[in-house]
């Protein structure tokens, strides 16, 4: 890969500064044109594929992704999202910070959404400033485009994104195509994942033909539920598969036989907000099954898109020079622990998500079992690119876990939380109303959580992976609980090194 010219780097800086100026307000400190860092000659291309609300379990229905990325890369088998909600999680990816530091704690204002994030100081801005060509295809942060449909966020050279309020429509939506609006209808060829896949292939071919290293992001809507197109549509929302994939998994069932936490029989050990949830009615279980099946079916088009993108990189001769990251913003509960259509909960179904990385530095077919989190994604991208960001990063690069002969020990402590309101509008409700705010700590093998309204949860994930037995208050776990409570206190309001210093050391 050739070193980008000084002219290209300076032009990138000018474009970034112009975008910052257009945003108004204070501009983050920038290096002068004379000291713009040049990306190294062997800096890799970086491709990030991010699905929406995908569970770890659902990876099993994606054989093309398995062959193209999982078998050829490194699986981070204990990867968690620190805030299991779309916008806060994606903001963490873009900043390398916990939500307590980047400030996005909801999908909508006043606590979150696209307009609440300082988009002038994010990963694409840092990479563009250093000489990477940056490109985005898919759907961006919640509420993007609702004020100015023609806006392109700072740091992105090439742009193809759905705009709100049509973002969560698999059909009948609008796209900002490099500053021009394009409408898509209801024909089979307008299916959103396929349209995005077509554009992704075009983008990758064009990017590979240029001289500069590129940073390409492909964020899918699938398997997120579709928002109703018309007032009065059925409130029980589902993901929408491509017409060719509909009913492919009509015989797949997600029940207590497959997932013992589904419609959990005994929740007397859990906080009151969970205890007051009733068992699921038969009609509710049927609706949960339909959603589960449609979510799996919607991922089949994503699976095809992944294969097409990898094939395009190979045909262009740049696959060996490209790092490909596959992940999801958060998981999803569809009946587990008596919650449906839920994600901002401290359970594995919501926080434990896929992460697989293929490319230089990530051995094929390998597994990194250490605990990692979405705060680590931005530091890893920066490490790969040899670029510095302009924020204090809370995470750490994943490269030492994948490429070193003696990787660091598995002793991380990851801060977990949901928003101050406790839930995203319309979901995560119990007999008490909204699920209360909680925060907690995830360490290797254990999750510990404290609720604002009272109540604690402690799970031994090795012995109880479905989180059926709450060990908080159990005398046998008292030393461990005290240690985890201390780690949680250290992580609250941490920043930078303070977030990396607390380490898990099992008592006794």
SS3 for 375?
helix
- Number of helical H runs and strand E runs in the chain: 13, 18
Task: Kindly indicate the confidence band of residue 403, based on its pLDDT and cuts at 50, 70 and 90.
Answer: confident
Task: Kindly indicate the confidence band of residue 325, based on its pLDDT and cuts at 50, 70 and 90.
Answer: very high
Pick from 8-12, 387-391, 438-442: least confident = 8-12
Residue 443 to residue 342: CA distance in whole angstroms:
23
State yes or no: pLDDT of 214 exceeds 80. yes
Torsion region of 232: left, alpha or beta (phi above 0 gives left; psi -120 to 50 gives alpha):
left
Pick from 73-87, 236-250, 468-482: least confident = 236-250
- Is the C-alpha dihedral spanning 241, 141, 371, 303 positive or negative? positive
- CATH assignment, 45-403: 3.40.720.10
Residue 116 to residue 118: CA distance in whole angstroms:
7
Percent pLDDT > 90 in the chain is 80
- The arithmetic mean of pLDDT across residues 404-416, rounded, is 88
Task: Kindly indicate the confidence band of residue 453, based on its pLDDT and cuts at 50, 70 and 90.
Answer: confident
Task: Kindly indicate the confidence band of residue 434, based on its pLDDT and cuts at 50, 70 and 90.
Answer: low
What is the three-state SS of 440-463? EEEECCEEEEEECCCCEEEEECCC
Complete edge-to-edge strand list for the sheet that includes strand 438-443: 414-417, 438-443, 446-451, 456-460
Q: What is the pLDDT of residue 422?
A: 52
Q: Express each pLDDT in 161-204 by its tens digit.
A: 999 999 999 999 999 999 999 999 999 999 999 999 999 999 99
- The arithmetic mean of pLDDT across residues 35-58, rounded, is 88
State yes or no: pLDDT of 478 exceeds 50. yes
SS3 for 454?
coil
Task: Kindly indicate the confidence band of residue 333, based on its pLDDT and cuts at 50, 70 and 90.
Answer: very high
- CB-CB neighbours of 210 under 10 Å: 12
- CB-CB neighbours of 404 under 10 Å: 10
The closest alpha carbon to 213, from 381, 2, 397, belongs to: 2
* CB distance 444 to 433 below 8 Å: no
* Chain position carrying tokens 């970034």: 16
Q: Express each pLDDT in 76-122 by its tens digit.
A: 999 999 999 999 999 999 999 999 999 999 999 999 999 999 999 99
Residue 478 to residue 472: CA distance in whole angstroms:
8
Close Cβ partners of 60 (under 8 Å, ≥ 6 residues apart): none
Q: What is the pLDDT of residue 261?
A: 96
Comparing 374 with 17, which gets the higher pLDDT?
Answer: 374
Q: What is the pLDDT of residue 408?
A: 83
* Chain position carrying tokens 């809370």: 394
CATH 1.10.10 fits 414-500, yes or no: no
Task: Kindly indicate the confidence band of residue 21, based on its pLDDT and cuts at 50, 70 and 90.
Answer: very low
Q: What is the pLDDT of residue 16?
A: 39
Residue 503 to residue 139: CA distance in whole angstroms:
36
Domain range annotation of the chain: 45-403, 414-500
Q: Is the pTM of this model over 0.85?
A: yes
Helix axes 123-130, 86-95, angle to 10 degrees: 30
Percent pLDDT > 70 in the chain is 88
Q: What is the pLDDT of residue 95?
A: 98
Q: What is the pLDDT of residue 13?
A: 35
State yes or no: pLDDT of 437 exceeds 70. yes
The closest alpha carbon to 431, from 412, 406, 414, 453, belongs to: 453
* CB distance 164 to 175 below 8 Å: no
Structure tokens at 193: 């994942």
- Kindly state the helix (H) or strand (E) to which residue 324 belongs, with its residue range: strand 322-328
Close Cβ partners of 53 (under 8 Å, ≥ 6 residues apart): 86, 223, 224, 225, 295, 328, 329, 330, 331, 332, 343
Structure tokens at 132: 């990477």
- How far CA 73 is from CA of 38, 77, 213, 280, in Å, comes to 28, 12, 20, 40
The closest alpha carbon to 80, from 352, 417, 439, belongs to: 352
Residue 126 CA to chain centroid, in angstroms? 20
State yes or no: pLDDT of 140 exceeds 70. yes
State yes or no: pLDDT of 58 exceeds 70. yes
The mean of the pLDDT values for the chain is 89
Task: Give the burial class of 182: count Cβ atoms within 10 A of its Cβ; 0-12 exposed, 13-18 middle, 19 or more buried.
Answer: exposed
Pairing, β 158-162 against β 133-139: parallel
State yes or no: pLDDT of 227 exceeds 50. yes
Task: Give the burial class of 366: count Cβ atoms within 10 A of its Cβ; 0-12 exposed, 13-18 middle, 19 or more buried.
Answer: middle
State yes or no: pLDDT of 495 exceeds 90. yes
Q: What is the pLDDT of residue 119?
A: 97
- The arithmetic mean of pLDDT across residues 397-420, rounded, is 90
Task: Kindly indicate the confidence band of residue 373, based on its pLDDT and cuts at 50, 70 and 90.
Answer: very high
Task: Give the burial class of 476: count Cβ atoms within 10 A of its Cβ; 0-12 exposed, 13-18 middle, 19 or more buried.
Answer: exposed
Structure tokens at 192: 């959103």
H helices within 251-344, ranges in order?
Answer: 272-275, 282-315
Q: Degrees (nearest 5) of the Cα angle 383, 384, 390?
A: 45
State yes or no: pLDDT of 306 exceeds 90. yes
């Amino acid at each position: 890969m050739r070193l980008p010219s000084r002219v290209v780097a300076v032009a990138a800086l000018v474009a970034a500064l112009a975008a910052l100026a257009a945003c108004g307000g204070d501009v983050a400190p920038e290096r002068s044109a004379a000291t713009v860092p040049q990306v190294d000659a062997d800096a890799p291309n970086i491709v990030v594929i991010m699905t929406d609300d995908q569970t770890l379990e659902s990876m099993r229905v994606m054989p093309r992704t398995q062959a193209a990325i999982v078998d050829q890369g490194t699986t981070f088998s204990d990867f968690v999202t620190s805030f299991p909600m779309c916008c806060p999680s994606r903001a963490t990816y873009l900043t390398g910070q916990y939500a307590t530091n980047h400030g996005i704690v909801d999908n909508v204002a006043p606590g979150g959404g696209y307009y609440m994030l300082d988009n002038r100081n994010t990963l694409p801005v840092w990479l563009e400033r250093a000489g990477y060509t940056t490109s985005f295809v898919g759907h961006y942060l919640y509420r993007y485009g609702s004020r100015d449909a023609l806006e392109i966020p700072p740091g992105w050279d090439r742009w193809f994104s759905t705009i709100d309020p049509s973002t969560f429509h698999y059909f009948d939506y609008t796209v900002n195509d490099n500053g021009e609006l394009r409408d898509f209808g209801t024909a089979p060829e307008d299916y959103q994942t396929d349209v995005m896949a077509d554009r992704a292939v075009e983008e990758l071919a064009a990017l590979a033909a240029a001289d500069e290293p590129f940073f390409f992001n492909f964020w899918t809507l699938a398997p997120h539920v579709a928002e109703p197109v018309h007032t009065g549509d059925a409130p029980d929302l589902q993901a929408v598969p491509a017409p060719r994939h509909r009913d492919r998994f009509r015989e797949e069932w997600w029940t207590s036989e497959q997932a013992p936490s589904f419609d959990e029989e005994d929740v007397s050990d859990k906080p009151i907000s969970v205890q007051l949830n009733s068992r699921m009615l038969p009609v509710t279980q049927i609706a949960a099954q339909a959603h589960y099946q449609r979510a799996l079916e919607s991922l089949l088009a994503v699976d095809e898109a992944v294969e097409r993108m990898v094939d395009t990189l190979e045909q262009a001769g740049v696959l060996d020079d490209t790092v490909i990251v596959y992940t999801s913003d958060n998981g999803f509960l569809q009946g587990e622990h008596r919650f449906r259509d839920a994600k901002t909960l401290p359970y594995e179904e919501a926080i434990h998500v896929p992460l697989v990385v293929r490319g230089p530095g990530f051995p094929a077919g390998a597994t990194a079992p250490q605990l990692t989190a979405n705060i680590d994604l931005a530091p890893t991208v920066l490490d790969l690119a040899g670029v510095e960001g302009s924020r204090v990063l809370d995470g750490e690069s994943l490269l030492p876990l994948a490429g070193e002969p003696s990787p660091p020990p598995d002793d991380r402590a990851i801060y977990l939380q949901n928003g101050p309101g406790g839930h995203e509008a319309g979901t995560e409700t119990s007999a008490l109303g909204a699920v209360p705010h909680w925060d907690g700590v995830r360490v290797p093998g254990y999750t510990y959580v404290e609720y604002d309204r009272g109540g604690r949860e402690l799970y031994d994930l090795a012995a109880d992976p479905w989180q059926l037995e709450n060990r908080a208050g159990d005398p046998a776990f008292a030393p461990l609980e005290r240690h985890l409570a201390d780690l949680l206190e250290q992580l609250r309001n941490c920043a930078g090194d303070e977030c990396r210093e607390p380490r898990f050391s099992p008592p006794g």
